[in-house]
Chains A and B, each alone.
Chain A
Amino acid sequence: MAISDPVIVVIEDDPQMRRFLRTSLGTMEFQVYEADSGQQGLVEAGVRKPDLIVLDLGLPDMDGVEVVRALREWTMLPIIILSARSAEQHKVDALDAGADDYLTKPFGIGELMARIRVALRHSANNSEHAIDQVFTTGELKVDLARRLVHVGEHEVHLTPIEYRLLSTLVKHAGKVLTHRQLLTEVWGPAYVENAHYLRIYMSQLRQKLETDPTRMKYLLTESGVGYRLKA
């Protein structure tokens, strides 16, 4: 474990879960600090200067969403939330409050690592203001500077809204975006209740970008939460 290893604060009340995270993340060259309550977690986050926070939504002393809000008052560091299944609204609230991504329990270490990597990369990009001008995933290529979209060799024509939607997803590639976040970003804050707009355009976008719209490769649905562009 080197000094320059990324620092992660795990806020989780269950000792077994903490043990699993500590052990697994420790083997991946992370420095892990633990907190078993929301209050302690906020203190740790201030003291340890972490690169990322893993936050369980079900804490004994505070609502996880409150913890996210409290953190977002002073830092933009990436937050990954852990939540139980069947609590979609809770997840969405936490994401809307500023959390970067989420994982549903139970999850494998592979999924967690993927989320952590995406989150760390985005926070690095944000700090350096250097977004790649050309984004590529699989066959899909989006040239943000020239506003060109290709699938394989074929150029795809998009409407302005479709393009705005795609470029928003590209900017946050690999990260989940809630319906509300996408609607605000693409249509403006007045449209946050019109989720069907988003769904219709997403469907159109899939028709144009995916080879089989019912077997998505790029534009993934996070059911009940939002969408994610495969990074």
Chain B
Amino acid sequence: MSSERPDPDLLLAKVEREQAKARRGRLKIFFGASAGVGKTYSMLLAARERRATGIDVAVGLVETHGRKETAQLLEGLELLPTRTIDYRGTWLREFDLDGALKRRPSLILVDEIAHTNAPGSRHPKRWQDVNELLNAGIDVYTTLNVQHLESLNDDVGQFSGIRVWETVPDTVFEQADEVELVDLPPDELLVRFNEGKVYLPEKAERAIKNFFRKGNLIALRELALRQTADRVDAQMQDYREDHAIRDIWQVGERILVCIGPDGLAEQLVRAGKRLASGLRGEWIVAYVETPRLQRLPAEKRDSILAILRLAEQLGAKTVTLSAPEIGEALINLARERNITKIVMGKPTRRGWKRWLLGSVVDTIIGEAHNINVQMMGSSRAHPAETELVVSGRAPPPGLKAAPEQKHKRRTRGYLLAVVVIALCSVVAEGLHGKFELANLVMVYLLGVVFVATHFGRGPSILASILSAVAFEVLFVTPYLQFTVSDSQYLVTLGAMLAVAMVISNLMANVRSQAKVAAHRERRAAVLYAMSKELSAARSETEILRTAVQHIHAEFGSRNVILFPDPTGRIQYPTDTILSESVQGSDLSVAQWVFDHNEMAGRGTNTLPGSELVYFPLAAGNNVIGVLALLPVNLRRIFLPEQKKLLETFISLIVQAIDRIRLAEQAKRSSVQMEAERLRNSLLSSISHDLRTPLATIVGSASTLVERNHVLRTKDRLELSRAIHDEALRMSNLVGNILDMARLDSGMAQLNRQWVPLDEIIGSVLTRLHKRLEGRSVVVKLPPGSPLVHVDPVMIEQLLVNLLENAARYTPEGSPIEITAEFGPFSVSISVADRGPGIPKGQENLLFEKFYRLQGERAQSGVGLGLTICRAIVEAHGGHIYAKNRASGGALFSFVLPFNQAPPSVDLEEESKP
């Protein structure tokens, strides 16, 4: 018995676990200025205290670096097993995220949140592991050094000369529930360092020794203290807000950081971040791509992309604009988003150039009246060097540009330039002598203009030089000699070069703008086409097919859309596979994406090792599925404009699916309402139609029982007849209701057989012999009486109902006709009467359940007869209809198809027995 009794401790633990699931875990960071200040030590002390209060503490990963004091503190704490990964021959010890999630302690210790995981781990960075632990409701203690903070990385690099590659986004630090500063004065730290109590990785020993200079340590300490102070300040503000202390009305600051393709971009982003967190404002990083910038080499564009992603990680919103004029675009953006501060680099143009051509900065300062503009100069001697170093974050694999294919085209341009100038020379030769030399120059100018408009700058320069040379050699005396002594033709050469440059530049701009416009138009067209098809789609399958095909067409990626089963587990699709579908998607990744509403897979920060990219199919927080793509080229997905397009696609798809699902839900509920209505009318109908005969039966029977002694034989007979008739009527009624229930529930199985139609009709007429007495029933059957492939019992019931109906609604003695016509694979049977006909407009209503012609209450029957007829005909795959005959009366007709040829019968020879 005792084994059945739940252990209270276990129960309590279970309740706690469930509560933990419901909330997000708390993150506490032990924050220090540098290695050696005692963060891990403090963390372990705090953990022991927590454990002493009965909290379930486990150590996920703690580096003691051989320090005795630290190791001692670990004693008695539960150490979770770590994962070892073989990375190029060395064994790396890594935190085991899945193990920890499975073990699910209340509090887990994970040292060094800035750590980069070994390749092949779920997340590239440990802070992402920590995030997942928090999401699972587990509290986490971790440690962090100030120089690992993303936004400070740059500053620390500047004064210490050492850049760390392992960084943590500032958001992690900001969102931490608690930050405990572990502080040690620089002098004491140096003492510890000299005593060898500070762990140093062996490889970088010398560099790090350099790092441990007093000046550095002071600066680092200041940074750490300031960072903590900022946090405390922010907490104070939150507190004031929470407690409605609003003595100061603060207008939310919005900062716009404008970056260009130069090396300043990264610094600008970090500065923007600092400014934004200092002002506690929102910030936007914008990059304006002018036609000129679009022609930058792919590596440069990738580095800009990487910086934009860095900005996103630092918490900024990013915007990429395509516009011809940077200044104007930025001003518009600033107005649109209510920007209060703009951060940008110092103008690159100086002196007369700036005066003559203007600069973006001047445009903005001139136009933005209510906006503060902050400018930043390059602090480095060689800003160009930093261009591609985005704090160690190389563009994700596959994001690098594909090898340029333009080389061939360019060669062709140069060749054609030569050909064009040769042609010009031929033409000019023809004109030579008849016209002035100046006119011949025009021929060449025409050639140069042609080359410039068609093949761009390089070929046009070649063409202008060739023209000058050809002109000089061919037409300027002495013929066929190259002397530039005739200096006046140098002017010709110069003019031609200038024309070539101007036109080719103009053309290049026009071309790229045309390209951009075409791009946009195409994108709009693509979106339009898809949304049109999606809104025309009638089912989820159709939507999915449309979606998969369009995504494939636009992004060149085979893809698949995965949905969860009712329990929330992502499943493989069951629909037919399209040629655009991708197979072999990883369900566990998809599940992660579905649960976290974040993208994962190749080119992202989560499970970048997978082959596919997974996007949550979500509108806001409502995730309905996962889109998995097999990218041909990651650029086609991750370039900002492409990604935005994909997001638009996704939201369109989600909307379309939502629409269909809502429609289905509405349909279901209307079906339910209809069922409800039917049940009600069934109840009222049955209660009326069953109670009436019952009343007669009970009344008559009670008279027979109680008044037996006074009843005359004639009365007794009369009462008995009443009981008999009413009982039969009830029996019919119940039979009809049962038939309907059987047909409705699908329990009635069709038992098709080959039957001569006259047998069925004969059987019906025999059954209704009494009911049809005194009427002429004419049966018109084609001779030979072909076989029909039907369920004979059901068809008999159908005909009985139709004939009973005719008998009920037509005057006594009026004729009824039964006609049958045969098609090759069907039979059409009609029952026609000479009654009053069907009221106009009610021809189809007749077949509805419980429908009765108005004012027919006195007639017996619940109004199920024709409904049963329709159900029987539909079970046979046929259809039934009613109409009025031109010559008066009603006609009910039904067609029954049969999909088999009649069976062969070997009939015997006719012979005498």
User: Chain A: residues with CB nearer than 8 A to chain B?
Assistant: 85-86, 88, 106, 108, 147, 157-163, 194-197, 199-200, 202-203, 206, 213-216, 220-221, 223-224
Contact = CB atoms under 8 A, between A and B. Distances in A.
B727 A106 contact: yes
B755 to A, nearest CB: 5
B759 A202 contact: yes
B758 A213 contact: yes
Contact of A214 (B727, B755, B758): B758
B97 to A, nearest CB: 63
B911 interface: yes
Contact of A86 (B739, B753, B756): B739
A200 B912 contact: no
A163 B913 contact: yes
Highest count of chain A CB atoms <10 Å: which of B735, B759, B765, B907: B759
Given A147-B913, A160-B911, A223 B796 contact: yes
Nearest to A85: B735
Given A196-B787, A213-B758, A221-B759, 13 more contacts: A85-B735, A88-B793, A157-B912, A157-B913, A159-B910, A160-B908, A196-B755, A199-B755, A214-B758, A215-B766, A216-B762, A216-B766, A221-B763
B631 interface: no
A202 B760 CA distance: 12
B761 A214 contact: yes
A195 B765 CA distance: 22
Contacts of A199: 753-756, 759, 787
B911 A159 contact: yes
A224 B779 CA distance: 22
A159 B787 contact: no
A113 to B, nearest CB: 16
B838 to A, nearest CB: 26
A160 B739 CA distance: 41
Contacts of B753: 195-196, 199
Nearest to A164: B913
A17 B829 CA distance: 40
Contacts of B908: 159-161
Contacts of A147: 913
B803 to A, nearest CB: 12
Given A159-B910, A215-B765, A224-B792, A203 B727 contact: no
Contacts of A162: 913
B681 interface: no
B297 interface: no
Interface in B725-755: 727-728, 731, 735, 738-739, 742, 753-755
A196 B793 CA distance: 15
21 contacts: A85-B735, A88-B793, A159-B911, A160-B911, A162-B913, A195-B753, A196-B753, A196-B903, A196-B905, A199-B753, A199-B755, A199-B759, A199-B787, A200-B787, A202-B759, A203-B785, A213-B785, A214-B761, A216-B766, A221-B759, A221-B763
Interface of B: 724, 727-728, 731, 735, 738-739, 742, 753-756, 758-763, 765-766, 779, 781, 785, 787, 792-793, 796, 903, 905, 907-913
A224 to B, nearest CB: 4
A106 B758 CA distance: 27
A212 to B, nearest CB: 8
A159 to B, nearest CB: 5
B909 to A, nearest CB: 8
A206 B762 contact: yes
B793 A224 contact: yes
Contact of B762 (A197, A200, A221): A221
B723 to A, nearest CB: 12
The 4 closest A-B pairs by CB, nearest first: A196-B754, A224-B793, A221-B763, A203-B756
Contacts of A163: 913
Given A195-B753, A197-B905, A223-B796, A203 B759 contact: yes
Contacts of B742: 86
Nearest to B778: A214
Highest count of chain A CB atoms <10 Å: which of B758, B781, B787, B908: B758
Contact of B758 (A161, A195, A203): A203
Highest count of chain A CB atoms <10 Å: which of B738, B739, B905: B905
Contacts of B763: 216, 221, 223
A157 B728 CA distance: 43
A215 B792 contact: no
A78 B844 CA distance: 50
B483 to A, nearest CB: 113
Contacts of B761: 214
Nearest to B738: A86
A227 B608 CA distance: 78
Contacts of B766: 215-216, 220-221
Contacts of B911: 159-160
B913 A214 contact: no
A159 B913 contact: yes
Contacts of A160: 908, 911, 913
A95 to B, nearest CB: 15
Contacts of A197: 905
A215 B742 CA distance: 30
A15 to B, nearest CB: 17
Contacts of B913: 147, 157-160, 162-163
Highest count of chain A CB atoms <10 Å: which of B762, B765, B779, B793: B762
B733 to A, nearest CB: 12
Given A196-B754, A203-B756, A215 B762 contact: yes
A147 B763 CA distance: 28
A163 B913 CA distance: 7
Contacts of A213: 758, 762, 785
Contacts of B912: 157
Contacts of B793: 88, 223-224
Contacts of B792: 223-224
Contacts of B739: 86
Nearest to A204: B907
A213 B724 CA distance: 32
A160 to B, nearest CB: 5
Contacts of B731: 106
B486 to A, nearest CB: 113
A163 B910 CA distance: 12
Nearest to B907: A200
A86 B736 CA distance: 11
Nearest to A158: B913
A160 B779 CA distance: 30
B447 to A, nearest CB: 93
A214 B761 CA distance: 6
Nearest to A159: B908
A206 B908 CA distance: 17
B735 A200 contact: no
Contacts of B787: 196, 199-200
A204 B735 CA distance: 33
Contacts of B909: 159
A93 to B, nearest CB: 14
A83 to B, nearest CB: 14
A88 B793 CA distance: 9
Nearest to A162: B913
Nearest to A89: B751
Contacts of A206: 758-759, 762
A111 B897 CA distance: 37
Contacts of A194: 903
A203 B781 CA distance: 13
A13 B787 CA distance: 42
Nearest to A197: B905
Contacts of A220: 766
Nearest to B747: A86
A29 B766 CA distance: 31
A161 B911 CA distance: 10
Contacts of A159: 908-911, 913
Contacts of A223: 760, 763, 792-793, 796
A135 B787 CA distance: 31
A215 B777 CA distance: 10
